Amino acid sequence: MRLVRLYSNKPDIFPPIEFHPGISAVVAEIKRPENMGKTVHNLGKSTVARLVDFCLLKGRHPSFFLFAHEALFDGFIFFLEIQKDDGRFLTIARSLKSRKPVSILASGVDVNDATEVDSGHWSHPDLGIAPAKRLLDGLLGFSVIAPYDYRDIMGYVLREQDDYGDVFHLRKFRGKHREWKPFLAQLLGLDAQLTTNFYAEVDEVDRLEGEILRQRAEIGMAGEADVIRIEGIITIRRRDVDELSAVLQHFDFARADSDANRELVSEVEEQIATGNEKKYRLSQLLVHLDESLREDAILFSSDQTATLFAEIGVAFKGQLKKNLEQLVAFNRAISEERRGYLLEERAEVTASLERIDPVLTELQAQRAQLFEFLEGSDTIAKYKEISTRVIELRSDITALERQRDTHTRIVRLKQEQRQVQDRKNQLQTAIEVDLQAQVDDSGSRYREIQRYFDEIVHAVLDEHALLTVTPSSSGSLDFLADFVSDSGARTSAARGFTFKKLLCIAFDLAVLRSYGDQSFPRFAFHDGVFESLETRAKHRLLEVLRKYAAMGLQPVITTLDSDLPEPIDSDLTALSSNEIVRRLSDEGDSGRLFQMESF
């Protein structure tokens, strides 16, 4: 796959860029003296790579310049034509629409301007980003990197200035190692599935560890617990509950409470009321009897009457006195008999009262006991105490059972974790064995890329560089690209950004060369390729780029004219006008990539 053409539906603002089969250079010429010392000129040379990536269906992000200035680019449609290894052409059209922004045109011939092609003749019109990616991945057919798709390799063939910070760990792979190391292993000819599986097991170990911590936190258990000891404590608690429950069974308090109420209301209270009523009647009878006995007393005296009569001058004759005394004697005889009856009845009443008092006292005592039972006797207090203890024990048993069950789950999780760790260790061993096999095989892709990488660096700087893959302490793979001395010692510790950039360029070209006989990208885009290199190294790098172009690759580069090793077309070793696909300048809007005001 190589780049053919990049253009838009507004050529007066964005003129087409026709890429060359060999070197395709975008050159920014600084002509105004006041701009000579500036490092940022905002002409758009770096934007070319972004537009290519956009047309190759880079994900939509609000910080991307087209979306950050969406109103400015409203209505734009960008087109990228590429040629596959089988000679057929694909044109990808992408607008800024959020829905179905992509159309793909497949053709056996070069289509110079797809804007003239009627929408009904497009092979796959109006696609969403996700289905368009799947379709394009199938059309490109980069089976050599399967199960990865074409987007995974784009970071290594489209390098902007921010992508030179690390040879392997690209800006798009800012996440975890598992997001890029397996693909890189695949790219270098290693068994990527081993690395993928390894990280899957790492994730599983971490997941299990997190679950163990969650289980512990759920029951407030910081350390390990002895499940046998917990089970023993549960047995003791259950035995205590059984014993206390047996005690409670002797207290039928539902029935006792019912009986107590019935006995209190129906029997004791009734008996007390009856006894009090009887006592009251007897007491009243006793009062009447005493009154009757007092009324029966004869208070008349004949002698006292005679004296009274004499004092008032009335004669009290003897016969009258005699008759009165006889009457009193008669009445006394009658009263004595009645009094005897009254005294006898009084004695009976008094005896009855004496019998009633103890009975009432006993009944009142029973009533007091029943009220005490109902309102909080020692028995109820004991019952409550035992019930509370049973509840506490059962709660304790529940907590212990939960702790036991949790610990049992933790034990199983740890067992599973050890099994996963065993599989992880086996994968680690397999990764090391696979790596060693690639190292030992002089014809392996890893050794081939390693060799091409060193050749490029040595050709440019007359120094050696080593691309190495080693097992990491965590069990995965570490990737390292570095300058080395003749003794093999690392020498790039003090090297800066420029030399790291050269390592990135060397790696990308070495990978493309290694895959030269398979369906794979043929282009490599490097922004600011000559920047900061010394002149001789620039000459040599240009020679390397031409060498790789002669091999069928397509180096696409951007540069300031001031960074070129010598002026354009100055001699055969200089960059040729025929290698330039777009000239930019600081002389107004017409010199920018987008011929409009700077944005």
Residue 365 has pLDDT above 60, yes or no: yes
Share of the chain above pLDDT 90, in %: 51
- Please report, for the chain, the start and end positions of each structural domain, with discontinuous segments joined by +: 247-376
Tens digits of residue pLDDT in 513-546: 999 999 999 999 999 999 989 999 999 999 999 9
Residue 369 has pLDDT above 50, yes or no: yes
Long-range CB contacts (within 8 A, 24+) of 349-355: 349/282, 349/285, 349/286, 349/289, 350/286, 352/278, 352/282, 353/279, 353/282, 353/283, 353/286
Most confident of 164-178, 185-199, 227-241, 263-277: 185-199
Calpha distance 560→558 (Å, rounded)? 7
| Higher pLDDT among residues 410 and 285, named by residue | 410
Calpha distance 572→393 (Å, rounded)? 97
In Å, how far are 24, 203, 276, 391 from 17, measured between CA atoms?
10, 46, 124, 84
| Higher pLDDT among residues 157 and 303, named by residue | 157
Report DSSP state, residue 490. Answer: B
Q: What pLDDT, on the 0 to 100 scale, is given for residue 41?
A: 57
The region of weakest confidence among 366-370, 454-458, 471-475, 546-550 is 366-370
Q: How many alpha carbons fall within 13 Å on the CB side of residue 96?
A: 18
Average pLDDT over residues 287-301: 63
Average pLDDT over residues 274-299: 71
The region of weakest confidence among 209-213, 217-221, 374-378 is 374-378
Asked, as a colleague might, if the bond just before 125 is cis with ω within 30 of 0, I would say no
| Higher pLDDT among residues 473 and 35, named by residue | 473
Q: What pLDDT, on the 0 to 100 scale, is given for residue 28?
A: 93
- Point out which residues pair with 158 in neighbouring strands: 525
What DSSP string runs through 412-446? HHHHHHHHHHHHHHHHHHHHHHHHHHHHH-TTSHH
Centroid of chain to Cα 212 = 15
What DSSP string runs through 285-300? HHHHHHHHHHHT----
Q: What pLDDT, on the 0 to 100 scale, is given for residue 254?
A: 47
Calpha distance 162→527 (Å, rounded)? 10
**Mean pLDDT for the chain overall:** 84
Q: What pLDDT, on the 0 to 100 scale, is given for residue 256?
A: 45
How many residues make up the chain in this entry?
599
CB contact set of 148 (below 8 Å; sequence gap of 6+): 183, 186, 192
| Higher pLDDT among residues 460 and 278, named by residue | 460
CB contact at 8 A, 186 and 477? no
Q: How many alpha carbons fall within 13 Å on the CB side of residue 413?
A: 19
Q: What pLDDT, on the 0 to 100 scale, is given for residue 247?
A: 74
- For residues 395-416, one letter each, b for 16 or more C-beta atoms within 10 angstroms of the residue's C-beta and e for the rest, the string is eebeebeebbebbeebeebeee
Tokens 């301007």, residue located = 113
Residue 366 has pLDDT above 80, yes or no: no
Average pLDDT over residues 481-504: 80
Q: What pLDDT, on the 0 to 100 scale, is given for residue 255?
A: 45
Tens digits of residue pLDDT in 71-105: 999 999 999 999 999 999 999 999 999 899 999 99
| Higher pLDDT among residues 504 and 251, named by residue | 504
Q: What pLDDT, on the 0 to 100 scale, is given for residue 328?
A: 56
- Point out which residues pair with 90 in neighbouring strands: 82, 106
CA angle 37, 41, 44 (to 5 degrees): 150
The region of weakest confidence among 6-10, 74-78, 125-129, 285-289 is 285-289
Report helix, strand or coil for 399.
helix
CB contact at 8 A, 321 and 302? yes
What pTM was computed for the model?
0.72
Residue 287 has pLDDT above 90, yes or no: no
**Confidence class for position 368, pLDDT limits 50, 70, 90:** confident
**Confidence class for position 307, pLDDT limits 50, 70, 90:** low
Tokens 């003296």, residue located = 33
The region of weakest confidence among 93-97, 116-120, 395-399, 569-573 is 395-399
CB contact set of 472 (below 8 Å; sequence gap of 6+): 478
What DSSP string runs through 64-133? SHHHHTTTTTTT-EEEEEEE-TTS-EEEEEEES-SSS-EEEEEESS--S-GGGS-GGG-SEEEE-HHHHH
Give the pair of three-digit tokens for residue 81: 């034509």
Tokens 């992509």, residue located = 102
Calpha distance 139→124 (Å, rounded)? 12
**Confidence class for position 212, pLDDT limits 50, 70, 90:** confident
CB contact at 8 A, 185 and 195? yes
